[in-house]
Structure 1
Amino acid sequence: MFDSPITSVKRETFIRTTPERVWKALTDPAERNRWETRQSSIDLRIDGKVELDYGWGVDYVGTIVEMEENARLVLKDESDDLTIWTLQAVEEGTVVVLEYTGLWAGALGFMTAEDMGFGTEQFLHNMKTMLENAQDNRDTYWTSWIGVNHHTLLTDTQKGTIIIKVIPGTPAEGILQEEDIILRVNDSDVEAFSDLERVVTMSKPGQPLTVTILRAGEEQQYTLHTVPFREKKAAS
């Protein structure tokens, strides 16, 4: 199933504004804090240092290795992995492409790559809504979880996302199991990693979720209550 490692994660969006406006949102620390980071420091030159604090316990430190104003920005981290931003002017706006290079192998690596892709989608969407409508959605991101690691099921016969680990002390413990295939959450079909993450992580803590799974060939349904993101459930 995982014969070849993943070496690139790429996402893109269209924004109804100019490349110059996108570039400013990307390279001006105060502007970047409006749509992505909680705190940022950007030395905008070749070999300049970039430090980004996203919140949720996630940060990034890299060095600028390539830069073309209003068009391309490439960062390299301490592992020599690249973060590549490309801006392309099109009719009525700009296509923004974000690509990460790296090496993600096995089930856990595949899940990590999917998680990066999902996070990228969230932040690119926020960049779009901020630049088009001055709307910041981050207070709805990663508010809750149920405590499962999972990845998109890689078969031609069944869609869903398969659990590879249940985190002890979370709502999923004792209810969901490794190798359960999640088919639906409430009334939303789950066909891929992001389908589950979007519903769960944007739910309010304490919200009940009806999770439909496939276990040993049989559909089963459970109700779980979310808890704040990365926290454990309260002791009963």
Structure 2
Amino acid sequence: MEKVINSVQREIFVKASPERIWKALTISEERNKWETKSCELDIRIGGQVSLDYGWGVSYIGTIVELEEHKKLVLKREDDDDLTIWTITPQDKGSLVSIEYTGSWVGDIGMMEMDNMLFGTYQFMLNLKSIYEEGIDIRSKFWRSWIGILHRTYKMGEVLGSRVVKVQPNTPADSHIQVGDMITKVNGTATHSYDDVEKIISELGADKEVTIEINRNGLPLLLTLKTIPFGQMNSQ
């Protein structure tokens, strides 16, 4: 039986002081520059944080721990899951870390975890881009998909991302099956959820994409066409 994962983390180095990163996390106007579409931040112990990321995704939580320029801990509304931001001075910049606590198990749980971490790291890359280059790269995010939910998985010697659900009325419907291991996208080896999602989601709609899969030990090559992210119209 696959073990339960209770804590996951991502981190990134940004050439910005801890003071600037703290402002990026705690001032609404600054946070909207790199992460949220809109947000409300009551920065005090017990204060509420409401984040609207766009793409139909939002978060509401309460601040349970706060150490200025160093640490910000939120508890999600209606459960005990924590989001822990940590800022550590490092080499003329800051190491920015985010840790999530929760409970992830099974194919769907691992897919949800992978999806959350991928989305988080996309925004962390934008934080880096904004503070180092002054460029907002969110226009590249979640532009397209083919209608699959998947998770990082290793099957024997094959490392890739395993399909856990195929959405009906999407390009993947009737072509990709639950259990298929995606090993390459457009000729690039894909060893994780992130590898698959980054290539497909940044292509844009109405683009041909080649998917190499391992199905029951046999290789298979498919060519599909992307649609706008989240859309359910078959091509």
Match of residue 224 from structure 1 = 224
Match of residue 20 from structure 2 = 21
Match of residue 47 from structure 2 = 48
Asked whether 1:145 is paired with 2:150, we answer: no
Equivalents in 2 of 1:88, 1:141: separation in Å? 27
Equivalents in 2 of 1:180, 1:154: separation in Å? 12
Match of residue 63 from structure 1 = 62
Percent same amino acid at aligned positions?
A: 44
Q: CA deviation at 1:185?
A: 0.6
Equivalents in 1 of 2:172, 2:123: separation in Å? 27
8 Å Cα contact 1:9/1:116 also seen in 2: no
Match of 1:154, SS state, is strand
Match of 2:23, SS state, is helix
Asked whether 1:195 is paired with 2:165, we answer: no
Equivalents in 2 of 1:158, 1:103: separation in Å? 26
The normalised TM-score by structure 1 is: 0.96
Q: CA deviation at 1:216?
A: 2.4
Match of 2:198, SS state, is helix
Match of residue 31 from structure 2 = 32
Match of residue 118 from structure 1 = 118
1:148 is aligned with what amino acid?
A: I
CA RMSD of aligned residues (A): 1.1
Asked whether 1:73 is paired with 2:72, we answer: yes
Equivalents in 1 of 2:110, 2:208: separation in Å? 28
Match of 2:158, SS state, is coil
Equivalents in 1 of 2:119, 2:34: separation in Å? 13
Match of residue 105 from structure 1 = 105
Equivalents in 2 of 1:6, 1:112: separation in Å? 12
Total equivalences in the alignment: 234
Q: CA deviation at 1:65?
A: 0.7
Write the deviation string for residues 148-202 of structure 1: whole angstroms up to 9, x where unpaired.
Answer: 1111123351111111111101100011111111111112111111100000111
Match of 2:85, SS state, is strand
Equivalents in 1 of 2:218, 2:156: separation in Å? 18
Equivalents in 1 of 2:71, 2:94: separation in Å? 13
**Structure 2: gaps of 5 or more residues:** none
Asked whether 1:159 is paired with 2:173, we answer: no
Equivalents in 1 of 2:126, 2:163: separation in Å? 28
Match of 1:88, SS state, is strand
Q: Which runs of 4+ in 1 moved over 4 A?
A: none
The normalised TM-score by structure 2 is: 0.97
1:6 is aligned with what amino acid?
A: I
Equivalents in 1 of 2:98, 2:116: separation in Å? 11
Equivalents in 1 of 2:205, 2:173: separation in Å? 17
8 Å Cα contact 1:7/1:104 also seen in 2: yes
